[in-house]
Homo-oligomer: A and B are copies of this chain.
Amino acid sequence: MPGDDGETVGGSSERAVLARILGALRGSSRALVGPGDDAAVLAAPDGRVVVTTDTLVHGPDFRLAWSSGRDLGFKAAAVNLADIAAMGARPTALFVALAAPEATRLRFLEDLATGLREACDELAPVCAVEGGDLTVSDTLTVAVTAVGVLDGREPVLRSGARPGDVVAVAGALGQAARGLAVLFDRFRDDLGEPVPVDLAALSPDERAALTAQLRPSPPIALGPVAADAGATALMDVSDGLVLDATRMAEASGVTIALENPGDPLALSGGEDHALLATFPAGVPLPEGFRPAGVVVPRGAHSVTVGGTPPVGRGGWDPYQDWDAHRG
């Protein structure tokens, strides 16, 4: 293919692979000591850092027939940035442990690094990739660790919801699951294997859902905004609203009474990385948040939807749902 040099991980030295990746990241580091030494040194001006890690694995989490290197890098960053935001913190650095098959092209890894950088630029402008690790594996795996700072705020935990609080959500719900359904329904061959997406075959709504699935843009900046507005609890909706609200309700010892959004996928669909927050009654919701229910004293169920218990588990469990989603 013209312009594609076709070099692979297996045919290159570690130094050559690193040079391609670092080239795509060049100039983005803002650390006290950036990539290239045994470890990076990051500033933590208020004496604390927030740290989280989340991994994307080829098969359960993405398919190369559907995700470009740039999409994959973007998503790997976004899902981690969302967990930092969900503490009320501001992301400052990513560390990327990349395990790639020998046949992986250097061009693909360069695109992946570009996607990581694009996600930082768009969602968390001070954040950059400040370190990483490369290994050979039969299974392409992108494990990202994100670091953030609180700028003097207290972290907002999932355990702080109190009866009387208003429940609010920022970001789309159900879109990522809708995008996954488009992929499974429309872009698999007769054997169930993924085939490349034909964007021209999709409606604008389907394209938007696909973007939410392949290249999600969680409302990262709204994490600190929620904290500043007095959020009592805050978390990332990664496994579906009902399941994650259940976790918040159990951590807080309350029941979360959700309004019925009318769309089943908005209750059960995973991978949205919206923010779920609770605010004291009477506090004006920050721009970007919309009401989604109320916190009530602990009742028979952790979560109710439109006044009744939710049907089924109502969310995504990677260990139990994986077979059903296998291509």
User: Closest approach, in angstroms, between the C-beta of A96 and any C-beta of chain B?
Assistant: 7
Enumerate chain B residues within 8 angstroms of A181, measured Cβ to Cβ.
none
Across the interface, do A57 and B99 meet the contact criterion of CB distance under 8 Å?
yes
Minimum CB distance partner of A50 in chain B: B39
Across the interface, do B317 and A145 meet the contact criterion of CB distance under 8 Å?
no
Give complex CA distance A42, B46 in Å: 11
The verdict on A38 contacting B139 (CB below 8 Å), with A47-B43, A48-B32, A130-B51 known, is: no
Contact with B along A62-86 (1 / 0, CB 8 A): 0000000000000000000001101
User: Closest approach, in angstroms, between the C-beta of A319 and any C-beta of chain B?
Assistant: 5
A291, CB-defined interface residue at 8 Å? no
Residues of A208-255 at the interface with B, using a CB-CB cut-off of 8 Å, are: 234-236, 251
The answer, among B61, B133, B235, B319, for a CB contact under 8 Å with A53, is: B133
Across the interface, do B133 and A54 meet the contact criterion of CB distance under 8 Å?
yes
Enumerate chain B residues within 8 angstroms of A318, measured Cβ to Cβ.
14, 134-136
Number of interface residues of A (CB under 8 A): 75
The answer, among B14, B84, B141, for a CB contact under 8 Å with A139, is: B141
Stretch of A5-13, A165-173, A194-202, A304-312 at the chain-chain interface: A5-13
Across the interface, do A38 and B136 meet the contact criterion of CB distance under 8 Å?
no
A288, CB-defined interface residue at 8 Å? no
Minimum CB distance partner of A154 in chain B: B41
The verdict on A236 contacting B95 (CB below 8 Å), with A10-B319, A13-B320, A147-B51 known, is: no
Q: Which 5 residue pairs spanning A and B have beta carbons closest together?
A: A39-B52, A44-B44, A143-B143, A38-B86, A97-B143
